[in-house]
Chain A
Amino acid sequence: MADVTAVLDLRRLVGRWSLRAAGHTGRFSFFVADMFRGLGEWRTYLPRTFEQAIAIGYGSLFIVLLIAGFAGGVTALQTGYQFTGAYPLYIAGGVISESVVLELGPVLTALILAGRIGARYAAELGTMRVTEQIDALESLGRSPMSHLILPRCLAGLITIPALVMFANLIGFLVGWYAAKQSLGITNADFEYGARYFFKSFDLWYSAIKAIFFAAAVTVIPCYIGFNTQQGGEGVGKATTQAVVSASVIVLLLDLILAQVLLK
């Protein structure tokens, strides 16, 4: 009897979860379709996009560069720890530059921004939803997409790839400096190693990843914030959910893009 109840409970749980997932998929599809429909209203969203881009780009620059610097430095130290004596030193140049450009720069930046920008967007939009500001906008015959969502998402799509490129540069330079200090590698050896392993596609790969990650860390929190319910508690839940969902999607996209683009 207990077994039957457990099976029924499990079926109910799976059923509920599937319904919720289907509901979210449908709503998210409509949300994205609405965003595309709103693209025609450029007079409304363009000025707001620049305001948002300055706010999130300039505001995130310091933390992104700091994290990238640490990542580059740690990569250099770990490369030294693992490779010294076993491989020629110039390989460190290739390992550090490739690690930073292919993985650490885009992924760490996206994860930081999922927290910083994602939380901000979800909380802002969630608060606007529960205080009826979004309803007020709609009641005035104005589109929340062009006033609120598009400026935020486009600002992310502009600034995040740029931030990733800055992160790559700083990660590479700090990694170089740390390798010189800890491994005693010469500039010529480091440069040789970096050039030996570098392909111009690597930078494109980094940029493509950054664009996908930018979409994830802006659109998902905007969707979650936009659909917030149940007052202040709902805003808190939405903010947490936005950061976790955006971070998981970033890691998932990282895996998929590596599989698709690095064949």
Chain B
Amino acid sequence: MIELKQVSKRFLDNVVLDHVDFVVRQGETVALLGPSGVGKSVLLKHIIGLIKPDTGDVIVDGLSVPHLKRQELAELRRKIGYVFQNGALFDSDTVYENIRLGITDETCYSDDGYCADRVKECLRLVNLQPEVGNKYPAELSGGMRKRVGIARAIAGKPTYLLYDEPTSGLDPVNADVIDGLIERLQQELGVTSVVVSHDVRGSFRVADRVALLWQARIRAVGTPEEILQSKDPAVQQFLERDLEMAVIQAESAVPETTQHAPRTGGGAGGGVG
């Protein structure tokens, strides 16, 4: 279980998180929505201990993350897979080496045979051919980089998966592929996931519950249906803005969207409309 209790964080005069409470139960997928720059990624980095809160506590697996010692934090991080916004792949290493670094058990990491099998398995899970392992990140498309980032995050068989804007910067077709992948990984691996996004339809597709971060606070939490029915003006404003973006995207990518109708035609997406 992941729990943020009254977490506050400010950078100079900018209050990013203001007494935020946020809970993710074991085995569920929670999407954290909010406009760009609102502090979603900052919240996610608190969970893995990359950022410490000014006040409040972050509890993962019963451990208080800000108070962990270096070694304890490293051990906790081995249970958490983090998918970075732009992949954050190591430029000078091949895709194989990148994914191998995700194998956090040192005994397994030292076993070349295990690593070869595990990397191949992870590439399969993210719908990539084994040959991609020989390529360098610079040779991959944006969508492939994201998928390699996901493969690296799952290589260590984590209990928790944190996705930081997994579909940002992707066209609707590739975004749909990534959403499908998150859904499938959730079903196959049964991990507890947090998906940070500003893409409403994608989030509604993959999440059991949705939270809206608005002006440094969690404004609304609930199932996608509950969020859709919310009368909160901030929630409605955010959902409407996303709908406008969806129309612009759909107009600029007509051939793709007609082939991938589920992205706009799903239950959640339909509800927004």
Contacts and interface: CB of A to CB of B under 8 A. Distances in A.
B88 A140 contact: no
Contacts of A127: 91
A141 B102 CA distance: 9
B75 A139 contact: no
B84 A142 contact: no
**Chain A interface mostly helix, strand, loop or mixed?**
helix
Contact of B90 (A37, A133, A139, A141): A133
Contacts of A141: 73-78, 104
Contact of B89 (A133, A139, A143): A133
Interface string B73-112: 1111110101011101111000000000110100000000
Interface in A66-80: none
Contacts of B82: 136, 139
Contacts of B48: 139
B108 to A, nearest CB: 13
Contacts of B70: 37
Nearest to A148: B90
Interface residues of B, number: 24
A140 B84 contact: no
A128 B89 CA distance: 9
Interface string A42-69: 0000000000000000000000000000
A182 interface: no
A138 B73 CA distance: 10
B80 A139 contact: yes
A131 interface: yes
Contacts of A128: 90-91
Interface string A105-138: 0000000000000000000000110011101111
Given A133-B91, A135-B50, A140 B156 contact: yes
A142 B75 CA distance: 10
Contacts of A133: 88-91
Given A140-B104, A142-B101, A132 B75 contact: no
B75 to A, nearest CB: 7
B85 A139 contact: no
Nearest to B149: A136
Interface residues on A, range: 10 to 19
A37 B152 CA distance: 27
Contacts of A137: 90, 101
A143 B74 CA distance: 8
Contacts of A136: 82, 84, 88-90, 152
A137 B101 CA distance: 8
Contacts of B45: 135
Contacts of A132: 84-86, 88
A37 B74 CA distance: 14
B50 A139 contact: yes
B50 A131 contact: no
Contacts of A140: 77-78, 101-102, 104, 152, 156
A136 B156 CA distance: 13
A143 B78 CA distance: 12
A141 B160 CA distance: 14
Nearest to B80: A139
Contacts of B85: 132
A132 B85 CA distance: 9
Contacts of A138: 50, 77
A139 B77 contact: yes
A144 to B, nearest CB: 11
A137 B75 CA distance: 13
B77 A131 contact: no
A131 B104 contact: no
Contacts of B50: 135, 138-139
A110 B162 CA distance: 44
Contacts of A135: 45, 50, 84, 88
Interface string A136-156: 111111110000000000000
18 contacts: A37-B70, A127-B91, A132-B84, A132-B85, A132-B86, A133-B88, A133-B89, A136-B82, A136-B84, A136-B88, A136-B152, A138-B77, A139-B80, A140-B101, A140-B104, A141-B76, A142-B74, A142-B101
The 4 A-B pairs with the shortest beta carbon distances in the complex, nearest first, are: A136-B88, A141-B77, A132-B88, A139-B82
Interface of A: 37, 127-128, 131-133, 135-143
Interface of B: 45, 48, 50, 70, 73-78, 80, 82, 84-86, 88-91, 101-102, 104, 152, 156
Given A132-B88, A140-B101, 19 more contacts: A127-B91, A128-B91, A131-B86, A132-B86, A133-B88, A136-B84, A136-B88, A136-B89, A136-B152, A138-B50, A138-B77, A139-B48, A139-B77, A139-B80, A140-B78, A140-B156, A141-B77, A141-B104, A142-B104
